[in-house]
Amino acid sequence: MAVAVEFNHVGITVSNLEKTCAFLEDAFGLKVAMILDKTGGPTSSVALGLPEHRQRIALVAVSDVILELIEFIPTRRTSYDGRQDDVGYCYPSFSVADLDVAYAELTAKGYHIHAKPHAAGEGVVAGTRFMILKDPDGKNIELVEISQKMSVGSLHQLAATTTPSFDDPVMLAD
């Protein structure tokens, strides 16, 4: 029997908690709901697989998901050189109603976006567009305008009625 799950949160390690929270509020109007200061003593350090440390944490609600922003003290490193094709890379994706409006607003504020809104492809993903914004630590934040076929509800329905095959995937071209 499988364990029943619901999505709760995404944890993101940041170099400067205040800077990241200010960015999220300025770019997306997201407000911090709670700030925690945690000392990782022997018990929690073992649970996390880390040496003893201190964490400053901000919890930010985005729709039905929580962003848990974590600043470790001491900071192990402040630069980020990861790429999306690195194993273990993780990024948040925020759905927006109008990607062109989001692009205009964010570029007017001076934020770095890789490219103008990009169509995800044809067929099942037709109508879905995305763009990538960099956060203060240089990590990707995807903004996406979702077509009805790619909505969470549609994917739940599809998962309940079909069995996709790794031998016959939906092919997407650029």
User: Domains (ranges, CATH) in the chain?
Assistant: 7-77 (3.10.180.10), 90-159 (3.10.180.10)
Task: Please state, rounded to an integer, the average pLDDT across all residues of the chain.
Answer: 83
Residue 159 has pLDDT above 80, yes or no: no
When mean pLDDT is compared over 9-18, 114-123, 165-174, the highest value belongs to: 9-18
The stretches of 32-98 forming alpha helices (DSSP H) are 42-48
DSSP state, residue 113: B
pLDDT in tens, 57-116: 899 999 888 998 988 887 776 565 666 666 567 888 898 989 999 999 999 999 999 889
Residue with token string 């934040």: 141
pLDDT in tens, 13-69: 888 899 999 999 999 999 999 998 887 777 777 776 777 778 888 999 998 889 989
Residue 146 has pLDDT above 70, yes or no: yes
In terms of pLDDT, which residue wins out, 21 or 122? 21
Give residue 2's pLDDT band: very low, low, confident or very high (50, 70, 90): low
pTM of the model: 0.77
How many other β-carbons are positioned within 10 Å of the β-carbon of residue 33? 11
Going through the chain in order, the beta strands assigned E by DSSP cover 9-13, 32-40, 53-62, 65-73, 93-95, 118-119, 129-134, 140-145
Give residue 165's pLDDT band: very low, low, confident or very high (50, 70, 90): confident
Per-residue CA distances from 150 to 38, 126, 145 (Å)? 38, 9, 10
Per-residue CA distances from 101 to 106, 113, 173 (Å)? 9, 13, 26
Say what the pLDDT of residue 6 is: 77
